[in-house]
């Protein structure tokens, strides 16, 4: 799916969120990355095979 050089990380690699955004929908709270991952604003992910990865945002310090 990715035509960038260097190639973006695949959907199952640890750095998958470093892929380019191909479709952003901030009004709906999600973006589609070029590796097929849907990234939600709460940092949750939906992988191409339907696997859900829960939010992993760093806790805010006070």
Task: Judge contact between 41 and 56, C-beta under 8 A.
Answer: no
Q: Which long-range contacts (CB under 8 A, 24 or more apart) does 35-38 make?
A: 35/1, 35/2, 35/8, 35/9, 35/10, 35/11, 36/1, 36/11, 37/11
pLDDT at 57: 72
pTM: 0.83
pLDDT at 60: 54
pLDDT at 62: 53
Q: What is the pLDDT of residues 10-53, one digit of tens each?
A: 999 999 999 999 999 999 999 999 999 999 999 999 999 999 99
């Amino acid at each position: 799916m990715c035509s960038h050089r260097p190639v973006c990380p695949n959907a199952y690699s640890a750095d998958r969120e470093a892929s380019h955004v191909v479709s952003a929908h901030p009004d709906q709270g999600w973006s589609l990355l070029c590796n097929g991952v849907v990234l939600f604003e709460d940092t949750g992910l939906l992988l191409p095979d339907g696997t859900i990865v829960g939010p992993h945002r760093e806790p805010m310090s006070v």
